[in-house]
């Protein structure tokens, strides 16, 4: 059992664009969550994709082995669907698609910006899109 010090609460502060905060608040409202609860839940869900800490591993319900070839391992689509449904209850097809792909445009834009800053890619109107920068 965790000791009192390890379960005490502390604030975490971050800065995001206003449109992103608004989107998070809207999504939190749809799920009946506070914004803090929403961000905390999404961060924990995202962390599972990268590595599983002892607390998550100890509380995780073992999933049956796939028999149909579907991806159910750590960070797999089946796990992500289960996570969305466990926090939201019932979701329509469109709501599930939105929840699972919610941040892809922002992530892509951020990645493209980073790659352009590193001079690894460039946007070329002449070539009709992004291209690799030749060394």
**Does one domain contain both 18 and 77?**
yes
Instruction: For residue range 68-91, list pLDDT tens digits in order.
Output: 444 444 457 888 888 889 888 888
Same domain, 98 and 120: no
Structural domain span for residue 81:
13-102
Cα distance between residue 62 and residue 64, in whole Å: 7
Asked if residue 48 is part of any domain, the answer here is yes
Counted domains in the chain: 2
Say yes or no: 118 and 107 in one domain: yes
* Residue 13: predicted pLDDT: 82
Listed as ranges, residues in the chain with pLDDT below 70 are 1-7, 48-75, 102-103
Could you tell me if 21 and 86 lie in one domain?
A: yes
Q: Are residues 97 and 129 in the same domain?
A: no
Predicted TM-score (pTM) above 0.85:
no
Q: Are residues 93 and 37 in the same domain?
A: yes
**Same domain membership, residue 78 and residue 52:** yes
Question: Is 83 found in the same domain as 20?
Answer: yes
């Amino acid at each position: 059992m965790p000791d009192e010090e390890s379960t005490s609460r502390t604030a975490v502060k971050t800065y995001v664009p206003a449109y992103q905060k608004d989107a998070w608040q809207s999504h939190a409202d749809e799920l009946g969550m506070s914004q803090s609860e929403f961000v905390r839940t999404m961060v924990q869900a995202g962390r599972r994709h990268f590595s599983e800490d002892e607390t998550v591993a100890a509380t995780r319900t073992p999933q049956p082995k796939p028999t149909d070839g579907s991806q159910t391992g750590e960070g797999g689509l089946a796990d992500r669907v289960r996570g969305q449904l466990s926090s939201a209850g019932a979701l329509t097809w469109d709501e599930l698609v939105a929840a699972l792909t919610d941040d892809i445009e922002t992530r892509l834009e951020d990645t493209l910006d980073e790659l352009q800053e590193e001079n690894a890619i460039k946007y070329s109107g002449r070539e009709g899109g992004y291209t690799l920068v030749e060394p």
